[in-house]
Structure 1
Amino acid sequence: WIISAFQLTFASFLLLSGRLSDVANPKHTFVIATAGIGCISIATGFLSSTIPFIAFRAMAGVMGAMTIPSALTLLVGIFPEPHEQARVIGAFGGSDGVGNGKLYSTASLRPGLLTHALDTGGISLLTVSDILFIFALTEGSMDIWISVKVLLPLLLSIALMIGFFVWEHVIPTHIAAVPPRTWFYRNFAVLFVVALLPYLWFTTMFDINMVLWQEVYDWSSLICALRLIPSGVVTFSISLTGPLARRISPKWIILFGMALMIIANILFVYADNPSRHWSFVLPAIIVGDAGAMLVYTHANIAIFETTPPRTAGTVGAIFNGALQLGSAVSVEAITSIETSIERTHGGFTSYAGHAAAWWFLVGVVAAEALAVAAFYRTSSAVALSDAEVKIDDKASAEPVAPPNSEKPGHSVGASNTAKPLSVDTPAFEKTFNKLGLAPGKVPRVTTHATQLESLPLPSQVH
């Protein structure tokens, strides 16, 4: 529970934090939460009793949940240009809080008051559902799965989750914490599934090796920490590969990362004694961490590219919620697998349980790789080259003149004071076919022709 208490509250309050970051001032949320988690962590260091320690860990989880979506919202706002945004989001995954001073001082932010209503009903349903789900997983891994204290919260969690999605369909879209259309953004659903994987890998790798090295091999904590230094070096280095997303489709980078993870898992299967550390374990750590970080970094970048900037807080909350869910499932699933195998294959000191856990992870990664290969769409339905559409932002922001007010030398939609629109009609017809736009709508380029809005025009205008 020392670990699970933080995970429980962190995952449960992410959506509330994300929504607050979208409708209020994310700077205030970030500063208060960062100060809060620091103070709570200091206080926790002076505790010696178990229950207060767990309670403070849970409070730290709430503060931690408030920092992530607000930080992502600030970054997306500070770095709107896609190339910079990809690089920064990638670096954020590797260094988290580095550069907080820049966030405080340079962000151009909204007023502190709420500008939209909060979906208190939906957020409450999802928060309680998350709490019950993680509680059930934690209790199940420590006790018998077929018991009232495990099955009852698990079933209630599923019922509340269904109720959450029904609620989101019923209430107005502008109030909904997670509007139903969110799941239909290009590649959003498959990227959500991909987000379950990175923390699942990191948690499994860390937990299995720490227990094995300290409890079975009797290595000291210092030796264990030194042998994990390559993990930190690799993950931080890979987090800086964000610019690759502008040259290579994230689909292929993510699949390559998953292939590396499968190789690493297989290496771990055969790392069954201390003499194989340098020949099997170290290569597995380097290759697996590189793969997991590639998946994390480029799934993170891709999910922000496929969603509107105004939803950055909510999207960040959903993505990080999936990461935490993967971590929670990892702890409980791996514990259950190892325990069940060890009962019949040599006990705690046997490597059979660990090998079974690594084979389980091979299956999980392979299944996700098949899902990405099948469902991740690489052909952008909204990405247009500057040669196809050239529309001046000022012109597109002006009111559209009716057809009979057109003047020679001006393109459709340009006022006398605005710069003329430059429209390649054949290219627009091709674009209409790609986007499935009905006549009377024309795309307006907002950022490098990758984020489009529909600008209403009179029905006679194409």
Structure 2
Amino acid sequence: MYKNPRGGPGAVLAAAAVGQFVVALDMSVVNVALPAIRSGLGFAPLDLSWAVHVYALTFGGFLLLGGRACDLYGRRRLFVLGLAVFGLCSLAGGLAQEPWQLISARAGQGLGAAAAAPAGLAMLTNAFSEGPRRVRALGVWSAVNAAGGALGVLAGGLLTQYAGWRWVMLINLPIVAAALALVSVGMPAGTQQVRRERLDAWGAVLATGGAGLLVFGVVRTDTLGWGSPSTVVTLAAAAVLLAAFVLAETRTPAPLLRLGLLRSRWVAGANVLVFLAAAGQFTAFYFVSLYMQQVLSMSAAATGAAFLPFSIGLIAGTVVATRVTARRTPRAPLVPGALLAATGLAWFALISPDGNFLTDVLGPSLVTSIGAGLVLAPVAAAATSGVAPREAGMASGLMNSSRQLGGCIGLAALATVAAHRTGTATAPAALNDGYALGLAVAAALFVLAAVVAIGVLPRHRTETSDPRTTAPAENQLEGTPS
């Protein structure tokens, strides 16, 4: 376990949590500000969504590369570099004068996040030995990660209405500064040995290209549709590149993603589960936000504030899940959590155009958020169970990729489902029907996540991804054998 007299594992946890908070915050903070951004920079209607999509595109596309790079070149180095890029691009976005400048800044934020997110999680898993202490640390990380997504809606609404849309970008600067200060205390420069293996360049090109094309194809379905020639060609190209990536990884001695990692039921099951859970959670944020603004006619600030109970429920769920996981296994809270989240989303699916916040939002928000917290807290522990410290970045990048792809693909698919139900109608009642259908399908995704937890995840902690996972780590923090 990592020990540092200047800060110790607690400072590493704080740095990783704060870094993940700002990465998660930016997944949703811009959404509520889109109308103000459109009028402020003169965006064309069809181009505006790229202020959101391009972040998901670069973030999701480069995560596997970022995860492996931090194993080879240093987790602290990639964490600091990623956050520095993220912060500089946040400043550039806040000062943007043209649409292309904001979109470029959001792309840079995604690139920085793709380096910082897996590096932060890998630092955390190496700072805490596998067991109850790591479970508690991952619980804190998961709670902050979940709260970042929910509080992004709150922050976006309040900042847009009372400070101006530029602050949804500039708010990142003090948070990034705090994370950089914490990592300098908890993990000073030179505390991690750098490995001499070469980066799997061919695998990086295939994985990044395939994931990037997949995200690119999916996020454009809101305007082009799933059956358009452009969408079909893009998704087919993504499938070819990803298949080539899998083949290439079986033939290289130092792969970007060691496929043997997926032989672990913990790793494979957790990644499928987080894909489904992220699809359901991201969809809930999207449809509930639209329901409050376009059906209940709530302001941006009121919509943001309405997500505060959701944030509280997420944190409560993660606290309970962390305690259960520390005593038993990650599987124990995952099954009831997924079913509880499905129940809350099914309740959400009963929304009415004549509804109100108390009956149609508050109650289902609390049920859904507690269930989601029970899922999101232990899934990080599950995805890194039995993984060798030298492959912590690889496992972290894989889990973050699953989360990003799940959220992006799930949201795009269910937005299409809702749009088909709504048609060309713009009346609140028609919009309500579309949102309700999308939320009902999101509930089904959490039911499927519960099935995966029951059928795939082991009942005990003993399974590892490979015999090498029990070998001494080659990439421990300097001077502190695990």
TM over 0.5: yes
1:83 aligns with 2:132: yes
**Residues 165 and 348 from structure 1, CA distance in 2 versus in 1: closer, same or farther, beyond 3 angstroms?**
farther
Equivalent in 195, 202, 214 of residue 121 of structure 1: 202
Q: Specify the SS of the correspondent of 1:157.
A: helix
Q: Specify the SS of the correspondent of 1:13.
A: helix
Q: Conserved in 2, the CA contact under 8 Å of 1:342 and 1:348?
A: no
**Residues 178 and 444 from structure 1, CA distance in 2 versus in 1: closer, same or farther, beyond 3 angstroms?**
closer
Looking at structure 2, the residues matched to 69 and 379 of structure 1 have their Cα atoms a distance apart, in angstroms, of 26
Q: Specify the SS of the correspondent of 2:346.
A: helix
**Residues 346 and 445 from structure 1, CA distance in 2 versus in 1: closer, same or farther, beyond 3 angstroms?**
closer
Looking at structure 2, the residues matched to 5 and 147 of structure 1 have their Cα atoms a distance apart, in angstroms, of 20
Q: Conserved in 1, the CA contact under 8 Å of 2:349 and 2:436?
A: yes
Paired residues for 1:336-355 under 5 Å: 336-343=416-423, 349-350=429-430, 351-355=432-436
Q: Which residue of 2 aligns with 1:198?
A: 277
Q: Which residue of 2 aligns with 1:430?
A: none
5+ residue gaps, structure 1, are 384-434, 438-442, 448-462
CA deviation profile, 1:392-429 (whole Å, cap 9, x unmatched): xxxxxxxxxxxxxxxxxxxxxxxxxxxxxxxxxxxxxx
- More divergent stretch after superposition (247-256 vs 348-357): 348-357
**Residues 118 and 288 from structure 1, CA distance in 2 versus in 1: closer, same or farther, beyond 3 angstroms?**
same
Q: Which residue of 2 aligns with 1:315?
A: 395
Q: Which residue of 1 aligns with 2:72?
A: 23
Looking at structure 1, the residues matched to 357 and 450 of structure 2 have their Cα atoms a distance apart, in angstroms, of 28
1:223 aligns with 2:272: no
TM (norm. structure 2) is 0.75
CA deviation profile, 1:5-52 (whole Å, cap 9, x unmatched): 000100111111111111122111111221221111011012132222
**Counterpart amino acid of residue 143 in structure 1:** L
Looking at structure 2, the residues matched to 94 and 381 of structure 1 have their Cα atoms a distance apart, in angstroms, of 26
**Residues 151 and 361 from structure 1, CA distance in 2 versus in 1: closer, same or farther, beyond 3 angstroms?**
same
CA deviation profile, 1:250-301 (whole Å, cap 9, x unmatched): 2121001111111111111112135343124212111111111211110111
Equivalent in 107, 114, 127 of residue 58 of structure 1: 107
**Counterpart amino acid of residue 192 in structure 1:** N
Q: Conserved in 2, the CA contact under 8 Å of 1:258 and 1:292?
A: yes
Q: Which residue of 1 aligns with 2:350?
A: 270
**Counterpart amino acid of residue 61 in structure 1:** G
Equivalent in 425, 440, 443 of residue 359 of structure 1: 440
Q: Which residue of 1 aligns with 2:291?
A: 212
**Counterpart amino acid of residue 214 in structure 1:** Q
5+ residue gaps, structure 2, are 1-49, 146-174, 474-482
**Counterpart amino acid of residue 291 in structure 2:** L
**Residues 382 and 148 from structure 1, CA distance in 2 versus in 1: closer, same or farther, beyond 3 angstroms?**
closer
**Residues 280 and 61 from structure 1, CA distance in 2 versus in 1: closer, same or farther, beyond 3 angstroms?**
same
Q: Conserved in 2, the CA contact under 8 Å of 1:19 and 1:313?
A: yes
**Counterpart amino acid of residue 316 in structure 1:** S
**Counterpart amino acid of residue 366 in structure 1:** V
Looking at structure 2, the residues matched to 344 and 103 of structure 1 have their Cα atoms a distance apart, in angstroms, of 51
Equivalent in 325, 331, 338 of residue 251 of structure 1: 331
Q: Which residue of 1 aligns with 2:238?
A: 157
Paired residues for 1:101-180 under 5 Å: 101-107=181-187, 113-172=194-253, 175-180=254-259
Q: Conserved in 1, the CA contact under 8 Å of 2:222 and 2:412?
A: yes
Q: Which residue of 2 aligns with 1:287?
A: 367
- More divergent stretch after superposition (56-65 vs 216-225): 216-225
Looking at structure 2, the residues matched to 444 and 313 of structure 1 have their Cα atoms a distance apart, in angstroms, of 16
Equivalent in 74, 79, 90 of residue 41 of structure 1: 90
**Residues 207 and 436 from structure 1, CA distance in 2 versus in 1: closer, same or farther, beyond 3 angstroms?**
closer
Looking at structure 2, the residues matched to 324 and 150 of structure 1 have their Cα atoms a distance apart, in angstroms, of 19
CA deviation profile, 1:333-379 (whole Å, cap 9, x unmatched): 12101110112888664221112112212222222222221222113
Looking at structure 2, the residues matched to 93 and 48 of structure 1 have their Cα atoms a distance apart, in angstroms, of 36
Q: Which residue of 2 aligns with 1:7?
A: 56
Q: Specify the SS of the correspondent of 1:170.
A: coil
1:185 aligns with 2:234: no
Instruction: Kindly state the Cα deviation for residue 84 of structure 1 after the two structures are TM-superposed.
Output: 1.6
1:370 aligns with 2:419: no
Looking at structure 1, the residues matched to 205 and 191 of structure 2 have their Cα atoms a distance apart, in angstroms, of 25
Q: Would you say how many aligned residue pairs link Structure 1 and Structure 2?
A: 390
| Higher relative contact order, structure no. (Cα contacts within 8 Å, ≥ 6 residues apart) | 2
Instruction: Kindly state the Cα deviation for residue 148 of structure 1 after the two structures are TM-superposed.
Output: 2.2
Q: Conserved in 2, the CA contact under 8 Å of 1:198 and 1:293?
A: no
**Residues 29 and 301 from structure 1, CA distance in 2 versus in 1: closer, same or farther, beyond 3 angstroms?**
same
Q: Specify the SS of the correspondent of 1:56.
A: helix
Instruction: Kindly state the Cα deviation for residue 200 of structure 1 after the two structures are TM-superposed.
Output: 1.9
Q: Conserved in 1, the CA contact under 8 Å of 2:85 and 2:108?
A: no
Q: Conserved in 1, the CA contact under 8 Å of 2:287 and 2:435?
A: yes
**Residues 220 and 26 from structure 1, CA distance in 2 versus in 1: closer, same or farther, beyond 3 angstroms?**
same
Q: Which residue of 2 aligns with 1:68?
A: 117
Looking at structure 1, the residues matched to 419 and 348 of structure 2 have their Cα atoms a distance apart, in angstroms, of 18
**Residues 217 and 10 from structure 1, CA distance in 2 versus in 1: closer, same or farther, beyond 3 angstroms?**
same
- More divergent stretch after superposition (257-266 vs 356-365): 356-365
| Structure having the higher Rg | 1
Looking at structure 2, the residues matched to 203 and 193 of structure 1 have their Cα atoms a distance apart, in angstroms, of 16
**Residues 19 and 231 from structure 1, CA distance in 2 versus in 1: closer, same or farther, beyond 3 angstroms?**
same
- More divergent stretch after superposition (332-341 vs 371-380): 371-380
Once superposed, what is the RMSD of the aligned Cα atoms? 2.7
TM (norm. structure 1) is 0.78
Looking at structure 2, the residues matched to 250 and 331 of structure 1 have their Cα atoms a distance apart, in angstroms, of 26
Instruction: Kindly state the Cα deviation for residue 206 of structure 1 after the two structures are TM-superposed.
Output: 1.6
